[in-house]
Each structure stands twice: as C-alpha cells, then as structure tokens.
Structure 1
Amino acid sequence: MGEFDLIRRYFQRPVRRAVLGVGDDCALLAPAAGMQLAISSDMLVQGRHFFADVNPRLLGHKALAVNLSDLAASGARPLAFTLALSLPQADEAWISDFSQGLLALADAHECELIGGDTTGGPLNICITVFGEVPAGQALLRSGARAGDEIWVSGQLGDARLALEALLGKITLPPELLAQTRQRLEAPTPRVALGLALRGLASSALDVSDGLLGDLGHILELSGVGATVDSRLTTPLIAASVNPLWATSQFGLDLQQQCTLAGGDDYELCFTAPAQRHAEVLAAGLASGTAVSCIGRIDAKPGLRLLGADGQAMQPLWQSFDHFGVN
C-alpha cells in the first residue's frame, strides 16, 4: 500500500464545513462573519507521550482529544484539523484502528480532517486543530483578577496514577488500573464546558502538565497570586477503592502528587468572579461536566497551597517539563 492509497483509504472523507479538504495542496476554511480562528498544535511521540503497546484506537482518540482540549480552554467550537503522521511501517490493521478512534472523536465534535502529511519514520503524531470563537470572546490565560474563584473540571490525578503503575512504581488492583488507564489513554476534551464558560470565566487553560504548574501560567500572565486548598481537589478513584491509601502518609503523598502535579488530565482550570459561583455550577450542569471550586485568586503574587490539615504547605513536586528535571 502506497502513501496516497493509505490516505485515500483511511483519511480522505467528503468535507462538510470546510471549503476544501484532503487531496489538494492546501485546505480552505471560511469562518463565519464575526468569528476568529483558534488554532493549536500538539505532537505525540512514542516513548515520550505513549507506550509502544497502546491500543491504536485509543491513541487515535487521544491524539485529537489533547488538541480539542486546547480549543475547549479557549471557549472555541471545533471546525477542522490536519494530521501529520510518521509511521515505521504501513500496517493496515494498526492504521485502520487508529483512524477509527481518531475519526470517531472527530465526528462527535463535528471536526473534520482536511489535510496533513504522512511519512516513514519513528511513530510520531502531530495534529493542528482549528476552531472558531466570536471576536473578543475567547477565554485567555491573562484575565484572572483578585477575588476570583479557581475551578477545575472533572477528576484530577487518575492519569498520573495509571502512569505510576505502568512504570512499575506502584501496584494497583486490575480493576483500578483499567479505570485509571482509560483516563490516561482516552481523555475527555471538555469542549461543551468551554463553550458554556464564554462570557463567564475570566481566564482558563487545560491541565496537561499538572495543576500547580499550569495554574502558574494563569498567575504569571494575569499578574496575580492564588491560594489553593488541596482538600478541595477532586479525590482519586483510589481513595474509594483502597481506603488505606487515604489514611496512610504514602497514600496522602501519592494523592497530592497525582492531583496537584500529575499531568495528562486534560481537564479545564479556570477562574470566575465569586459572585458568579452559581452560574459556574449551572454551566457545569448544562455541559454535563463536574466542576469543583478549589481556591481563590489573590492580589499578592505567588501560589499558596493549603495541605490536608488546612495549614500552608510547600509542595515537593513539580509539574512536567519536557526539558526540565521531572
């Protein structure tokens, strides 16, 4: 099977929203009047972002999900995406499963594949996604203000818990490993919540490298500080499956590490004025997404973290950095 046969068989589809899609030198998009394009790129590299034995259908899902999560954090509605795919070999069974996982999520969000590139080489997936948002309404990292509440969506930490187990650092019961591995390998992009937060959230980003580090980007760009209560971060599945973890020092340290600095959550962290608390809860309900208030924005710079006893604590972990010490 040649390169162009591969593209035609597994990735070329009729366009619905784009003007021109796969098959020409350039794709063409025509956003609606009064809309701005939101554009983001993410790369997944075998051995760095995923294990070699990952289910290709789940890998296709995740490759697009992490990009849709960026659109969600901007309050943008997905339009289309491009796919650059490096493959060690043209394994049709693998490509078929990968494309099915990729395109199923694309169809669920009406986000169509409009072009890209394929080449031989180490397994590497790069997606650029395009969305649209009304002019002036995009959610940014720079809008947090003193007095705002800090919120997170969904459940933090499960992906990191699975990673710790897959790396052999801890042992999880099989049913818990299956649940947490699903969160690691098939995250849910919070697109509906991002849309519901337009005009409501003062700032937002997606949590990809760990809550504390990612929240730090909001604080830096907004010129503010924050107080986060670790007791309010959503507890791990592990706490209910293995209560001993919740009471032992090992369990508490592990939970805090996973929830506060774990990474791969792809949940939203956002801020909103305290007086709009009820509206944020309603936005979560309307979008079918759990949301939790975990702290407040302060005028004083810096990030202050409250531990399990309600007292100030110094975290021992850092969020993920590709070129740092992790």
Structure 2
Amino acid sequence: MTETDFLTHLRSLPLHPGAHGLTDDTATLGGLVVTTDTLVEDVHFLATDPPGDVAWKLVATNLSDLAAKGALVEGILLNYPLGDTGYDRAFLAGLADVLAVHDCPLIGGDTVTLPPGAPRVLTVTAFGRDAAAPPRSGAKAGDALYVTGTIGDAGAGLVIALAGHGDARLLARYRRPTPRLAEGRALAPLVHAMMDVSDGLLIDAARMAAASDLAVAIDLDAVPLAPGVIDPLKAATAGDDYELLFAAAPDLALPVPAARLGTFSPGRGLTLTQDKRLIPLPDHLGYQHGLR
C-alpha cells in the first residue's frame, strides 16, 4: 500500500475538524498548529550519519512544517528509542544545539528500548502558535509558484554522505537543514498557499495543485540551483530541501527572496518546460513511501 492509498483509507475514519481532511502537513487545535514527523534509519537518514546531525534533522523537519504556516515555535515532544549510550549522548548534544538555535523548548515525550540490531525510529511532534496558516489547497488560477532558497542541495549532500567526501556546504544541507521560520512568518499573511519542500519540488508542487483543484506549469530553467548542483530535473525530484513552496499573486511584492517557477491555471496535473519546450514528466516526481 502506498502512502497515498493509506491516506485515502484514513480519510474514511472519524476526523477531528482541525485535521482539515488530512490534506495538509499540519493540524490546528485551539490556537495551536500541530505537526509530527518520523525519521527512520536508512530511509530518512544513514546509519553512518552523526547522531547529533540526526537530532538536528529530526527537529528541523518538524519546524519546517511550522514555518510553512508562518507559526511561532511553541515547543516539541520527542519519542526516542534508547540504545547505544554513546549514540544517545551524541544525539542529546545535537538536540541541545537545534533547540537552542531555534528557541524551541522541549515539552515532553516518551522513551522506549531499542532491540539490538533494530533500525532507529525517531518521532517529534511540534507545536506552533499565532499562525496565519495558509493551506496547501489555497492556490488560485493565475497565481505564480515560487520557492525560497536553492533546490537539490540535500540530494547532492546525500551523494556526498554516501561517498564520504565532497562539498561540506551541500553535506550540511542534507544533514542539518534550516527551517525557514523567519521567511514563513513574513510570507504567510500574504500568500494563498504554502508548504515546505520535503519529498521533492515536483511532487510537492503537484500536491499543492491537486489540493487546490488546479493545474501547475513549471519551467525547469527557473529552478534555483546552488553551485555544484547542475541537473535541474534531478534536483527537483530529490527532496529533503525544506525550502518554502508557495502560491501568490504574480504582482505581489515579496518580503523575502524567492524564485518564480511557474503558474497555476484551471485544469489538473503538472506540466514541465525546459528551453521553452514541453518535456515529459519523469517516472517519479519525488519520494513517496510505499513505492519501491
């Protein structure tokens, strides 16, 4: 069963109104925005990744969802499997780093025992407040599609991590992503739809268009790439960038730097252009759990 299939079945169950039909990465509860993410060893991070970096990424991925709602950080819950003492201590050091940098207090959580040889499964639930909370379903026909930062850095960083050598900046973008909290705070009251790029630029743009009941066209030549990242199609399907993807009026004066990638229009689906020509969609637009 794919992630999409599973979510379809979940939507047939009794849902809290704040779940928004499970169409977004966050839920609302009272005045809080709530999100949760799980990282699985050798799926979301390598067994050889430094434990402190794993802690950073675990928290940052959750805070990135809050950033996409323009939320202030309230705090997190941590579920952690105790195993090797050295690993646990190094994880705690990285956790202290990321919580301090993003002024994110620990609220509580749970600990369990990790059986010998079992892969680590780590979960954080994050809470935000005072959020404008633009949904991913709010794009309008005629809106432009924008993204902050550069795309494909983390995919290149994963290649470097596997090889054991390469550009330290790209490696850091894979292991220690930056949640765009300040950018999200500035953008959220102004844009029509916003989400973070976690599974890949193309698949996440397609999800925004589908949720908004629109078509979206993307110009691959407009995808912003960092030095050392040269293939825009590979970059746009790699994932783990945690930049902000948003839909806004094309004449909006943006409060933060962002690249304009394309346009929303009536219809359904995603189209790609490169060198001013239509090109076929790749077999996979990005990462989706359950696909092999």
User: What TM-score, normalized by structure 2, do the two folds share?
Assistant: 0.83
Pick from 110, 113, 123: which aligns with 1:126? 123
Instruction: Check the 8 A contact 2:136/2:212 in 1, yes or no.
Output: yes
Distance 1:229 1:188 in 2: 25
Distance 2:189 2:169 in 1: 34
Instruction: Check the 8 A contact 1:261/1:317 in 2, yes or no.
Output: no
Pick from 259, 268, 282: which aligns with 1:316? 282
Deviations 1:56-115 (A, max 9, x none): 1111111100000000111111101000001333x1x43232222222222222221011
Partner of 2:5: none
Other structure's SS at 1:200 match: coil
1:236–1:198 CA distance, 2 compared to 1 (3 A): closer
Matches within 5 A, 1:13-32: none
Deviations 1:267-323 (A, max 9, x none): 1100111121x2x1xx21xxxxx411111111232211111x210111224110110
Instruction: Check the 8 A contact 2:32/2:130 in 1, yes or no.
Output: yes
Shift of 1:228: 0.7
Distance 2:96 2:260 in 1: 34
Partner of 1:103: 96
Instruction: Check the 8 A contact 1:156/1:258 in 2, yes or no.
Output: no
| Alignment RMSD (CA, Å) | 1.9
Instruction: Check the 8 A contact 1:87/1:124 in 2, yes or no.
Output: no
Matches within 5 A, 1:101-180: 101-121=94-114, 122=118, 123-134=120-131, 137-167=132-162, 174-176=165-167, 178-180=168-170
Residue 293 in structure 1 maps to residue 260 in structure 2: yes
Distance 2:175 2:241 in 1: 10
Partner of 1:261: 237
Moved more, 199-208 or 51-60: 51-60
Shift of 1:234: 0.6
Matches within 5 A, 1:151-230: 151-167=146-162, 174-176=165-167, 178-230=168-220
Pick from 49, 58, 66: which aligns with 2:61? 66
Where does the alignment leave 5 or more consecutive residues of structure 2 unmatched? 1-29
Instruction: Check the 8 A contact 1:144/1:297 in 2, yes or no.
Output: yes
For 2:247, give the aligned amino acid: T
User: What TM-score, normalized by structure 1, do the two folds share?
Assistant: 0.75
Distance 1:74 1:36 in 2: 13
Partner of 2:32: 37
Shift of 1:165: 4.4
Where does the alignment leave 5 or more consecutive residues of structure 1 unmatched? 1-34, 240-245, 247-254, 285-289
Partner of 2:272: 305
Distance 1:105 1:294 in 2: 31
Shift of 1:142: 0.9
For 1:45, give the aligned amino acid: V
Aligned identity (percent) is 33
Partner of 2:248: 272
For 2:61, give the aligned amino acid: V
Higher relative helix content? 1
Other structure's SS at 2:134 match: coil
1:215–1:61 CA distance, 2 compared to 1 (3 A): same
